[in-house]
Structure 1
Amino acid sequence: MSWRAALAILALGWSGPAAAGTLLAVCQGAAEVDVIDTAARTVSARVKVDKVPAGITLSPDGASAFITHPDIGLLTHLDVKTRTVVATARIGGQPFGIAAAPDGEALYVGDWSGDRILRVDPRTLAVTGTLAVGRAPAHLAIDPEGRTLYSADRESDAVSVIALSAFTRMTSIPVGRAPYALDATSPTRVAAADVRGGDVALITKSNHEVTRIGGMKMPYGVAFVPGRDLLLVTDQQGGTLDLIDLSAGTITKRLRLGGSPESVLVDGTTGRAYVAEWFANRVTVVTLDDFTIAARIPVCDGPRVMALIP
């Protein structure tokens, strides 16, 4: 399957007004990045990029965004402050998922058609290394400590575990049918959305044991809620945002969205989540205290992935 086909509560106790922040929404159809003021909940700028952008990651200081373009083998460097494209590079293959090392020294890019991870210098956008993984690496995630990279190898039904210090693949963990989105921000677990399996796989970092939580049609995005034993999951075909209680292993809340919800991000400082709704051309803001929709922000055509600068 091509990468393009693959793209197809409890009271939590947050309080106070929303803090000012910046959300970047990458729109595949418009070939554009919309810059959203999260306090005002409006688009403050629109930045044109090359065609069919697919993935985004931020430098550790939030000053730069790096965007992949699988159709043309391109990587874009965007200056967040000036809202301009400062560099592009043809890195080859079909660059799709992307993650930045916490120390700022490297980018890691999944080559969908090449079944490999590219290590890239963020200053020059030059490829400095390659590593074979499973088939069709989709999203990537790095452990907060910066030692381990996880790759959702969609067509291998597995997640690769990569030691970054040696840039070697340590193991491959079977997780379910077609893992796609990942979140590794939890201290103890990695979440993988199995888009063909209708479930989320939870990998224990210490021993690589896997548990799966079902009940969804096509889970596409996952995000841990910081400091809570909770996980948010977008169900693209179901048109919902689901809240999973990880201690119980069940879906406890389901919020109807529509518009083919894709990626989801959590702002742990404000207790809000942001959901990119692909077909609805909007980003929906969800208040996690009561799990309700706080706002719908119109954006460019085909929003699929996002990055949040607190």
Structure 2
Amino acid sequence: MKLLAALVFSFLAALLLGWSAPATAGTLLALCQGAAEVDVIDTATGAVSTRVKVDKVPAGIAISSDGTAAYITHPDIGLLTRLDVKTWTVAGTAHIGGQPFGIVAAPDGGVLYVSDWSGDRILRIDARSLAVTGTLAVGRSPAHLAIDPDGRTLYSADRESDEVSTINALDFTRTAVIPVGRAPYALDASHPELVAVADVRSGDIALITKEKHDIKRIAGMKMPYGVAFVPGRGLLLATDQQAGMLDVIDIATETIIHRIRLGGSPEGVVVDAAAGRAYVAEWFANRVTDLNLDDFSIAARIPVCDGPRVMALVP
């Protein structure tokens, strides 16, 4: 699906709706493209506690390592927004240009990395001032980003180049180009040895070894759009948007071992291993589905704002 076809909604500038509450350990943020809104979900109750309006067509979200700020990209207007997580208010914005799309926060808390879809580059951003401190050319149409837990290596899904760029975050240089399937979109680099990549157009998942960049591809999906490792279980979760499924993949055997029907064009998926939960954003159903990691049964379906695509857990 082309970016411009998805980015079709427009709303007024930022204001706060609803009552505010401090974040807790069970706080999940759902970013809604259609509503231009962040819904704050209390995972203990399975309900939206706060709704925060942001500027139009938000696309990506990242949380600072200390859990005090959320950062949001707006591709249509070249904007970056910072939310104060304690008060749920817009604490700052910066017009950084281009089409900022994917975003990750470095573990040290001082740096953000943002993909520029139309500029074929990665922007390095000072997390406090929101100033651009560096730019780096990558492949065509970089979508989502992922960073190693140690903060040393950044990965960019260069969608229209059918490749993943690896970037040395210490000196901000592009160190490798890894061919994957067609139209890589989302990534997860939280595994100690692997990077998972959702290849939208070829309908598969690429597993890249971090050390040697060997690739294994797991087929059997129609349009995978989100990936998330399940720590300590040897599993990977992948949303299949066109099939309306969440697929559970056994990493060792490289096979899909379970398929959960969701519907609603599932896209973003996040795992809260400590709580034994996984959460899936169902874009067209306007809900977040809460699943038990033990048996992947559906624990709750949480109504949220219009067009949830990506999510983030507040640490």
Report the TM-score, using the length of structure 2 for normalisation: 0.93
Name 1:147's counterpart in structure 2: 152
Q: How does 1:34-53 map to 2 (within 5 A)?
A: 34-53=39-58
Look up the equivalent residue of 2:98 and give its one-letter code: G
**CA drift at 1:5:** 3.5
Matched position secondary structure for 2:77? coil
Name 2:80's counterpart in structure 1: 75
Q: How does 1:238-253 map to 2 (within 5 A)?
A: 238-253=243-258
Matched position secondary structure for 1:150? strand
Name 1:62's counterpart in structure 2: 67
Q: How does 1:97-108 map to 2 (within 5 A)?
A: 97-108=102-113
Between the aligned partners of 2:310 and 2:5, the Cα distance in structure 1 is: 16
Between the aligned partners of 1:4 and 1:215, the Cα distance in structure 2 is: 27
- Counterpart of 2:115 (choices 84, 88, 110) is 110
- Counterpart of 2:278 (choices 258, 273, 287) is 273
**CA drift at 1:60:** 0.3
Between the aligned partners of 1:98 and 1:286, the Cα distance in structure 2 is: 25
Between the aligned partners of 2:235 and 2:92, the Cα distance in structure 1 is: 38
- Counterpart of 1:179 (choices 157, 171, 184) is 184
Between the aligned partners of 1:282 and 1:215, the Cα distance in structure 2 is: 25
Name 1:259's counterpart in structure 2: 264
Runs (4+) of structure 1 moved beyond 4 Å? none
1:158 equivalent in alignment to 2:177: no
1:200 equivalent in alignment to 2:205: yes
Between the aligned partners of 1:7 and 1:288, the Cα distance in structure 2 is: 32
Matched position secondary structure for 1:71? helix
Contact 1:47 1:83 in 2 (8 A): yes
Name 1:128's counterpart in structure 2: 133
1:231 equivalent in alignment to 2:236: yes
**CA drift at 1:3:** 2.0
Between the aligned partners of 2:161 and 2:264, the Cα distance in structure 1 is: 29
**CA drift at 1:228:** 1.5
Between the aligned partners of 1:215 and 1:223, the Cα distance in structure 2 is: 17
Look up the equivalent residue of 1:212 and give its one-letter code: R
Look up the equivalent residue of 2:53 and give its one-letter code: K
Matched position secondary structure for 1:217? coil
Name 1:169's counterpart in structure 2: 174
Look up the equivalent residue of 1:199 and give its one-letter code: D
Contact 1:20 1:39 in 2 (8 A): no
Name 2:302's counterpart in structure 1: 297
Between the aligned partners of 2:270 and 2:88, the Cα distance in structure 1 is: 21
**CA drift at 1:279:** 0.3
**CA drift at 1:6:** 6.5
Matched position secondary structure for 1:53? coil
Name 2:20's counterpart in structure 1: none
Between the aligned partners of 2:134 and 2:92, the Cα distance in structure 1 is: 20
Matched position secondary structure for 1:155? helix
- Counterpart of 1:138 (choices 139, 143, 146) is 143
Query: Which blocks of at least 5 consecutive residues in structure 1 are unaligned?
Result: 9-18
**CA drift at 1:269:** 0.3
Name 2:4's counterpart in structure 1: 4
Between the aligned partners of 1:264 and 1:302, the Cα distance in structure 2 is: 14
Contact 1:158 1:175 in 2 (8 A): yes
Matched position secondary structure for 1:289? coil
Look up the equivalent residue of 1:140 and give its one-letter code: L
Query: Which blocks of at least 5 consecutive residues in structure 2 are unaligned?
Result: 9-23
Between the aligned partners of 2:192 and 2:63, the Cα distance in structure 1 is: 20
* Aligned Cα root-mean-square deviation (Å): 1.3
**CA drift at 1:309:** 1.6
**CA drift at 1:270:** 1.3
Contact 2:143 2:159 in 1 (8 A): yes
Look up the equivalent residue of 1:166 and give its one-letter code: D
**CA drift at 1:105:** 1.5
**CA drift at 1:172:** 0.5
**CA drift at 1:4:** 3.3
**CA drift at 1:227:** 1.0
Count of residues in correspondence between the two structures: 300
1:96 equivalent in alignment to 2:134: no
Name 2:12's counterpart in structure 1: none
Name 2:214's counterpart in structure 1: 209
User: Taking every aligned residue pair, what percent have the same amino acid on both sides?
Assistant: 75
